[in-house]
Structure 1
Amino acid sequence: MLKRKYGDRSDWKRITKRKYVQSYLDTTDFKGYITLLHTIKVREPLFVTYGNKQVCIVDDGYFWLQQFPFNKNHSITAMYDANGNIIQWYIDICSEIGIENGIPWMDDLFLDIIVLPTGESLVLDADELEQALNHGTINQTQFEFAWNEANRLTEIIENKEFKLLEMAHVHKEILLGLVGNYEKG
């Protein structure tokens, strides 16, 4: 069974105080849901390591903007620090995107792509995808589909043709504008 991830991340216990807002967009460039999670207070920061570089992706005051484009097999989370600087774009390869009880979700296909502000991109969790296949969580078709989507996205990222990455800044401002007591960051 695939892991379903919700835009509001209400099950994330690391966050002790939060604000959340979402909106549906139907524009020429994007059709789907956008969500913004403001981690006002967290139990402890969250760090990830890429090579020999450690990156903080969650701390007090951080923002996570998530894009759930309809009829696509990926969801993008743009992570911003408390000053509004982009930390990374995290692209989940997914089998499906939908909405339940008004909250957007995606069914995670394990494989992920990280894009750093430097333009460097990394494909992550190939081992998890392999394990999912070996344990029968996914079938061969889903395995190949995940790799095909990751390869397709990697190519358009390298060619600087993946518009959703830059649209994250615009989407974040749209959502900040919906909530009067947000300080823009």
Structure 2
Amino acid sequence: MLKRKFGSRYDWKRILRRGYAEKYFETADFEGYVTLLQMHEVKEPLVKVYGGTPVCIVDEGYSWLQHFPANQRYSVTTVFDASDQIVQWYIDICKVNGYCETNGPWMDDLFLDLIYLPSGRLIEKDADELEAAHSERIITSEEYSQAWDDFNKLKQAILKNQLRLLELTKVHFQELALTCNRKIE
């Protein structure tokens, strides 16, 4: 079964106090939902290690901006630190993006991920999980092939600096930060 992930992260116990905003954009550059999760108080920081380098992705003052592009099979989560500097872009390959009236935008994760760091480093992640899901018949052969196709297209777009969405993250972050006054305790 695929994991359904919500932009609100309503069920994430690590975040003790949060701010949240969401908006549907319909512009020439982007169409889809964008969510902003502000982490006011966390149980503990979350640090990932990429090639021996620790990278903090959750801490007090951090924010996650997540894009759910309409009619696309990926989602981009941009991590901002407490100084509003980009820490990373995390691109999830997904089966579908959707919306729930209760918990907001969501995506059904298809395992493959790309992590793009401001340094220009691109990290490929979780191919083993996709392989296991395919061999265990959690996903179909069509979903397996589509995941790899989408992954490779996005990877090439990033390497060629053609994924426009990455350029929009700061603009969308600033716009949603102004309206992020709805607290979820």
- TM-score, length of structure 1 as denominator length: 0.95
Q: Which residue of 2 aligns with 1:7?
A: 7
1:1-185 counterparts in 2 under 5 A?
1-101=1-101, 103-179=104-180
Gaps of 5+ in 1: none
Shift of 1:144: 1.1
Letter in 1 for 2:58: V
Percent identity between the aligned chains?
A: 48
Question: How big is the alpha-carbon RMSD for the aligned residues of Structure 1 and Structure 2?
Answer: 1.4
Shift of 1:179: 3.6
SS of 2:44's equivalent in the other structure is coil
| Residue-pair matches, total | 182
CA–CA distance in structure 1, aligned partners of residues 32 and 45 of structure 2:
30
Q: Which runs of 4+ in 1 moved over 6 A?
A: none
Gaps of 5+ in 2: none
CA–CA distance in structure 1, aligned partners of residues 105 and 42 of structure 2:
23
CA–CA distance in structure 1, aligned partners of residues 155 and 20 of structure 2:
30
SS of 2:48's equivalent in the other structure is strand
CA–CA distance in structure 2, aligned partners of residues 172 and 142 of structure 1:
32
Letter in 1 for 2:7: G
Task: Summarize the Cα distance change of 1:180–1:45 in structure 2 as closer, same or farther, 3 Å threshold.
Answer: closer
Shift of 1:181: 9.4
SS of 1:41's equivalent in the other structure is strand
- TM-score, length of structure 2 as denominator length: 0.95
| Residues 39-61 of structure 1: per-residue CA shift (max 9 Å, x gap) | 11111100111111111100011
SS of 2:148's equivalent in the other structure is helix
Shift of 1:2: 0.9
CA–CA distance in structure 2, aligned partners of residues 180 and 50 of structure 1:
33
Contact 2:37–2:63 (CA<8 Å) still a contact in 1?
yes
| Residues 43-102 of structure 1: per-residue CA shift (max 9 Å, x gap) | 110011111111110001100000011001110000010011110000000010110115
CA–CA distance in structure 1, aligned partners of residues 182 and 130 of structure 2:
41
SS of 1:68's equivalent in the other structure is strand
Letter in 1 for 2:163: F
CA–CA distance in structure 1, aligned partners of residues 80 and 40 of structure 2:
13
Greater RCO, 1 or 2 (C-alpha within 8 Å, sep 6+) = 2
